[in-house]
Amino acid sequence: MTQSSDGKPGQPDPAGEGDLASRLDRLDRQLKQRSETDTKAEADAAGRSASMGAGVANALRLSSEFVAGVVAGGLIGWGFDQFLGISPWGLIVFLLLGFVAGVLNVMRAAGMTPGPRVD
Amino acid sequence: MAGASDPIHQFQIVPLIGDGTFAFTNSALYMGLTVAAITGFLLLGTSARTLVPGRLQSLAELSYEFVATTIHQTSGRDGMRFFPFVYSLFMFILISNLIGMIPYTFTVASQLIVTFALALAVILTVIGYGFAKHGLAFLKLFVPHGVPLVILPLVVVIEVISFLSRPISLSVRLFANMLAGHITLKVFAGFVTMLSGSLGALGLAIGVLPLALAVGITALEFLVAFLQAYVFTLLACMYLNDALHPGH
């Protein structure tokens, strides 16, 4: 015998069918169930469209992240060369490091490596 | 004639009022127009303040909710303190890109210095807020965990370069997309006039092909105009998230 939470029988007997309280109770349960499925579907749709936008954003990101790393490394190396007069070693070393940073950027943009963190 | 078919001509900076470094240029004019358009749109959209929004109010609410959702998804509730900044960034880039799609207008984001200034504003906010909130602990952002002491200096240098490359990638992406798109559009549209000018009726018949392409690229450019504004905003949110929760 299945029993609902308030102790009444889950399957209303013929006499209880006319009982207003049990009908209201049943309606209440059904409404709650329906609204739950509705909000779940809504959240799913929102999540899907958001992940699509994020996917396109990531695709656009990947192409430029690598180049940016190399350029940043090259600029730093060139700056060291200019101000310390160690040309061409600054450019050589930092261009290579920039290359590494670019690869790191791409891996982060692709979600293969976690981002930088404190602690 | 050279000015009419030259695809780069549209990006020329022309001083309108005054001269020299502080001249009021066409770039400044279109930035002003952008800000005026955004201000007018939001003032008109929020003036009625009805419970059931009208068209303009719906648009204003839509733009608010779009940016708010983006911030919530990337940096959570705390990120909302940057909402005014992020919303301004998004609207400025989006509206200036859309204004640039109107023929004979100037595209503000086609100048690298403009996009770089925007990217620098984001990165300086990240650095400033990061140091203000976490103090010197913010520098731990560059020191990953679990790295052997021997290669730690190397990893730190790479992390610093990676951080410094952010404003570059942020600005170059927006700039390059807008520049390349507008040049492509102009080149394909130029083919039509060049073909008909040199081949007459036959050229005009062939010219239908580049014309169709130009129409297609125009649609694509509208998509890019929106998408680039969105990508810039999304990445700005992710970088701001680093300043908010570096321990995330």
- Say how far apart CA A111 and CA A86 lie, in whole Å: 37
- The SS3 assignment for B228 reads helix
Q: Of B13 and B115, which is predicted with more confidence?
A: B115
Tokens of B97: 């890109």
pLDDT of residue B175: 93
Judge whether residue A9 has pLDDT over 70. no
Judge whether residue B38 has pLDDT over 70. yes
Closest residue in B to A103 (Cα–Cα): B162
What is the number of CB-based contacts under 8 A between chain A and chain B?
96
The answer as to whether B88 is a domain residue is: yes
**B95, containing H or E segment:** helix B83-100
The answer as to whether B16 is a domain residue is: no
- Angle at the Cα of B28 from the Cα atoms of B25 and B32, rounded to 5 degrees: 140
pLDDT of residue B96: 95
Judge whether residue B117 has pLDDT over 60. yes
- Say how far apart CA B3 and CA B1 lie, in whole Å: 5
pLDDT of residue A16: 52
Judge whether residue B210 has pLDDT over 80. yes
- What's the structural domain count of chain B? 1
pLDDT of residue A115: 64
User: Cα A17 vs. chain centroid, distance in angstroms?
Assistant: 48
pLDDT of residue B199: 84
DSSP classification of residue B111: S
| pLDDT tens-digit series, residues B154-173 | 989 999 999 999 999 999 99
pLDDT of residue B29: 93
Q: Is B64 within 8 Å of B49 (Cβ atoms)?
A: no
pLDDT of residue A14: 52
A64 pLDDT band, cuts 50/70/90, is confident
Closest residue in A to B146 (Cα–Cα): A119
The answer as to whether B41 is a domain residue is: yes
Tokens of B158: 């790479």
A118 pLDDT band, cuts 50/70/90, is very low
| pLDDT tens-digit series, residues A69-104 | 999 999 999 999 999 988 789 999 999 999 999 999
B10 pLDDT band, cuts 50/70/90, is confident
pLDDT of residue A1: 45
B52: left (phi over 0), alpha (psi -120 to 50) or beta: beta
Q: Contact B169/A65, CB-based, under 8 Å? A: yes
Q: Given B158, B164, B248, which is nearest A117 (Cβ)?
A: B248
The answer as to whether B184 is a domain residue is: yes
| Residue B119: other Cβ atoms inside 10 A | 25
Q: Given B158, B159, B231, which is nearest A61 (Cβ)?
A: B231
- Say how far apart CA B196 and CA B94 lie, in whole Å: 35
The answer as to whether B15 is a domain residue is: no
Q: Domain of B165?
A: 25-244
Q: Contact B165/A54, CB-based, under 8 Å? A: no
Q: Given A53, A69, A101, which is nearest B230 (Cβ)?
A: A53
Question: What percentage of residues in chain A have a pLDDT greater than 90?
Answer: 24
Closest residue in B to A62 (Cα–Cα): B169
Q: Of B238 and B3, which is predicted with more confidence?
A: B238
Judge whether residue B7 has pLDDT over 70. yes
State the SS3 of chain A: CCECCCCCECCCCCCHHHCHHHHHHHHHHHHHHHHHHHHHHHHHHHHHHHHHHHHHHHHHHHHHHHHHHHHHHHHHHHHHHHHHCCCCHHHHHHHHHHHHHHHHHHHHHCCCCCCCCCC
Give the distance from residue A50's alpha carbon to the nearest chain B alpha carbon, in angstroms.
Answer: 9
pLDDT of residue B48: 80
Q: Of B208 and A54, which is predicted with more confidence?
A: B208
Tokens of B43: 């003032």
- Say how far apart CA A116 and CA B248 lie, in whole Å: 9
- The ipTM, to two decimals, is 0.77
pLDDT of residue B65: 93
Q: Contact A50/B140, CB-based, under 8 Å? A: no
Q: Given B69, B145, B158, which is nearest A104 (Cβ)?
A: B158
- Say how far apart CA B154 and CA A98 lie, in whole Å: 11
Mean pLDDT value across chain B: 89
Find all residues with CB under 8 Å of B227, minimum gap 6, and list them: A56, A57, A60
Using a CB–CB cut-off of 8 Å, the residues of B that contact A are 69, 73, 134, 137-138, 140-142, 144-145, 154, 157-159, 161-166, 168-169, 172-173, 176-177, 227-228, 230-231, 234-235, 242, 246-248
Q: Of A55 and B193, which is predicted with more confidence?
A: B193
Judge whether residue B108 has pLDDT over 70. yes
| pLDDT tens-digit series, residues B171-205 | 999 999 999 999 999 999 888 888 888 888 888 88
Q: Contact A115/B242, CB-based, under 8 Å? A: yes
Q: Contact B161/A116, CB-based, under 8 Å? A: no
Give the distance from residue B25's alpha carbon to the nearest chain A alpha carbon, in angstroms.
Answer: 30
The answer as to whether B9 is a domain residue is: no
Burial class from Cβ neighbours inside 10 Å (0-12, 13-18, 19+) for residue B8 reads exposed
The answer as to whether B45 is a domain residue is: yes
The answer as to whether B167 is a domain residue is: yes
Tokens of B193: 């006039």
User: Cα B35 vs. chain centroid, distance in angstroms?
Assistant: 14
Query: What average pLDDT does the segment B54-72 reach?
Result: 91
pLDDT of residue B88: 95
Give the lowest-confidence range in A27-41, A42-56, B11-25, B143-157. A42-56
Partners of B15 in beta bridges: B25
pLDDT of residue B248: 41
Using a CB–CB cut-off of 8 Å, the residues of A that contact B are 50, 53-54, 56-57, 60-61, 63-65, 67-69, 71-73, 76, 94, 97-98, 100-102, 104-105, 108, 115-119
One-letter amino acid of A50: A
